[in-house]
Amino acid sequence: MQGLVLKSTGKWYDVVLDDGLIIKATIRGKLRIEGLKTTNPIAAGDRVEIIKGEANGNNNEEDYSIKSILPRVNYIVRKSTNLSKQMQILAANVDHAYLVVTLKSPVTQIAFIDRFLVAAESFRIPTSILFNKVDLFGEEEQLLLEGLTAIYSKIGYACHPISAQNEADVAFLRTAINGKQVMISGNSGVGKTTLVNSLDPTLDLRTGEISTFHEQGKHTTTFAEMHKLQTGGYIIDTPGIRAFGVIDLEKEHYAHYFPEMRELIGECRFHNCQHLNEPHCAVKAAVEAEEISPSRYQSYVQLMLEDSSDPYRRNEF
């Protein structure tokens, strides 16, 4: 029998079978994914093959185990907290990702946005940006919102200003999610869980508070969990991420994951141009002409100069 993984908590996995029954299952033996060194072999969104033990014939949770993972359409990962050669799979088989960003209480760093988008581009996951808590914005935040919306919408990312608790602001998402398997991600405290509750109040998920000392969110979602919405579709609520380490990407390919740079790659004088110090670089010329945002180029340079062997993520700037 087959099922869809809703939640991974280490040893146990919540799985909804194709007949609608939700069961708990463990991994049978050692389950490895070829070519991947991960802290979690199975993630929310995975399709798996389930077998039922024949020891007693009862439908006890101990009877179910995961035999194998069905081929993934895609997945998105981040570096493990302090393991340079391992990664954590945040979600699998994602039709669309929604990155929740706040410009106040707490402030999402632009570098974080760009790193997330690079990761999503590398796994070919379409992404939209939800600028949350617009009800808290003053004149400064409103100007910043307009500037960031101009930057990201120009290069193909849909941007939506919302207040997660405002029904009129989030109604469009129910239609967008229906029939799909989507992921919602962002820093701790940006309102991801509040947004999920607004989309389906029957879920009544626990939300956290903002630390007044650091203006950072307190983690309330420990493991990524997928919820079925009453209006249709599944939404994966991921743990709050304070930093996002790009992993398993070759530096010479980074420019391919910046859409505005990708269009110019063939126009540089040197075919192996890294768009850093080389002469006659089309990308740098576009930055100087303000055709490419300086903040986006800065994120690219920081990625290129980053020590890939560093076991700690250094992108909180």
Q: Rounded distance, CA 260 to CA 293, Å?
A: 9
Write the CA distances from 107 to 130, 199, 220, integer angstroms.
14, 24, 18
Residue 187: both structure tokens together: 């820093």
User: Using one digit for the tens of pLDDT, what is the confidence trace for 35-56?
Assistant: 566 778 899 999 999 998 754 4
Beta-carbon contacts of residue 236 (< 8 Å; ≥ 6 apart): 44, 45, 91, 94, 181, 182, 183, 184, 224, 225, 226, 227
Write the CA distances from 313 to 5, 82, 233, integer angstroms.
28, 8, 33
CB 294 within 8 A of CB 281: no
Closest by CA to 222, choosing from 10, 41, 39, 25, is 10
Q: Rounded mean pLDDT of 278-302? A: 97
In this predicted structure, what is the pLDDT of residue 11? 79
What is the identity of the amino acid at 259?
P
**Count of Cβ atoms closer than 10 Å to residue 159 Cβ:** 16
In this predicted structure, what is the pLDDT of residue 80? 61
User: Using one digit for the tens of pLDDT, what is the confidence trace for 78-112?
Assistant: 776 554 456 788 899 999 999 999 999 999 999 99
Residue 136: both structure tokens together: 């808290």
Cα-to-chain-centroid distance, residue 92: 10
In this predicted structure, what is the pLDDT of residue 223? 73
According to CATH, where is 2.40.50 located in the chain? 2-69
User: Using one digit for the tens of pLDDT, what is the confidence trace for 64-73?
Assistant: 999 999 999 9
Write the CA distances from 66 to 54, 91, 181, integer angstroms.
15, 17, 21
CB 45 within 8 A of CB 181: yes
Mean predicted lDDT score pLDDT of the chain:
86
The band of 59, judged by pLDDT with boundaries at 50, 70 and 90, is low
The band of 306, judged by pLDDT with boundaries at 50, 70 and 90, is confident
pTM, full prediction: 0.88
In this predicted structure, what is the pLDDT of residue 249? 80
SS3 for 84-147 is CCCEEEEEECCCEEEEEEEECCCECCHHHHHHHHHHHHHCCCCEEEEEECHHHCCHHHHHHHHH
User: Using one digit for the tens of pLDDT, what is the confidence trace for 118-168?
Assistant: 999 999 999 999 999 999 999 999 999 999 999 999 999 999 999 999 999
**pLDDT at residue 309 above 50?**
yes
According to CATH, where is 3.40.50.300 located in the chain? 75-237
Q: Does residue 246 come out as left (phi exceeding 0), alpha (psi in the -120 to 50 range) or beta? A: beta
Q: Which fold has domain 75-237?
A: Rossmann fold (3.40.50)
In this structure, CATH architecture of domain 2-69: Beta Barrel (2.40)
Domain 251-305: assigned CATH number: 1.10.40.50
Closest by CA to 220, choosing from 244, 247, 196, is 196
User: Using one digit for the tens of pLDDT, what is the confidence trace for 169-218?
Assistant: 999 999 999 999 999 999 989 999 999 999 999 998 876 544 443 344 44
